[in-house]
Chains A and B, each alone.
Chain A
């Protein structure tokens, strides 16, 4: 009776922005980003990816409440770049990695399929059903 619609897990509400951020005043070079209508899929990806960069001092995400589809990402850098630039760079790197993976996957899959079809043809020939 009180259950929210399932599409609210991924569709933005009226006037809701995908991303909001607030600078953290207590620690220098720190920003807390709030991603709306997103879940661990993106949160874990960005926060762990940021760990690979040497300029990042702190990177973590949390889902404040499991019933609401949003997460907060807290990023601290050492000052050489702003947290916002770090997140943008991280996202670009992820997209590039996925593009390389997509290309590699497509070529391998097509190759494998050709091999598979060739094998099937060869077996059919050996069995003698032309």
Chain B
């Protein structure tokens, strides 16, 4: 596969690796500035969904309300089909509704003598959502539990209603869809861009 096989000057994408959470690809005949803007948009301006407002009904854990609310905001939620959700500020409802948010419930009480861990899998979707995948907590670990939110001792309990809304990473990093975007111009340095260009004859330039 000759990298200089430019195929008539058309924009061309070749994948080196692609799976459900990582992709490595090569774009040919493309501009550097458009690729950079694409990278910036991928980091900051792709809409996703994350918990934004938390109503606390009961919290007798060792962590403070706002501490747990911060942790809940950072839990990754599936954003497949988030286009069906409306931004909460654009919605005509008062506060939140089924069109602009997904309601999740966290309800746990420890009754055993051991420490009970509350995982992301324990978040239960309560509202009627536009499609059946948006807003589900992302569980990728082998035990199928997701991230640990809080640990409870005997007698401690937690009861919170979380409102997840659509947003972009420019507003808060919890809405960031990508963890890392790497970008290299001309890998292999075939264009031999070794030094910065400098002006040697002003009359020629101007």
B32 / chain A contacts, CB cutoff of 8 Å = 48
A61 to chain B, nearest CB (A): 11
Main secondary structure of the interface of B (DSSP, over half): mixed
Tell me which of A10, A44, A116 contacts B36 (CB under 8 A). Answer: A44
Is A81 positioned at the interface, with any CB of B under 8 Å from its CB? no
Binary contact track A1-33/B, C-beta < 8 Å → 1, others 0 = 000001101110000000000000000000000
Which residues does chain B contribute within 8 Å of A124, judged by CB atoms? Answer: none
Question: Does B189 have its Cβ within 8 Å of any Cβ on chain A?
Answer: no
The answer, yes or no, to whether B25 is at the interface (CB within 8 Å) is: yes
Please report the total number of A residues contacting B with Cβ < 8 Å.
Answer: 25
Kindly list chain B residues whose C-beta atoms are within 8 Å of the C-beta of A105: 13, 25
Are A10 and B170 CB-contacts (below 8 A) given A100-B10, A101-B11, A112-B18? yes
B14 interface contact, C-beta 8 A: yes
Please state if A49 and B13 are interface contacts (CB–CB under 8 Å): no
Task: Tell me which residues across on chain B come within 8 A of A88, comparing CB atoms.
Answer: none
Given contacts A6-B172, A97-B31, A116-B19, contact A45 B13 (CB under 8 A): no
- Residues of chain B with a CB closer than 8 A to A9's CB: 170-171
Which of these, B11, B18, B41, B172, contacts A100 with CB under 8 Å? B11
Q: How far is the CB of A12 from chain B (nearest CB, A)?
A: 12
Q: Which of the listed residues B37, B41, B89, B170 has the most CB atoms from chain A within 10 Å of its own CB?
A: B37
Chain A: residues with CB nearer than 8 A to chain B?
A: 6-7, 9-11, 40-42, 44-45, 48-49, 52, 94, 97-98, 100-101, 104-105, 108-109, 112-113, 116
A-contacting residues of B (Cβ < 8 Å)? 10-15, 18-19, 23, 25, 27, 30-34, 36-38, 40-41, 44-45, 89, 168, 170-172
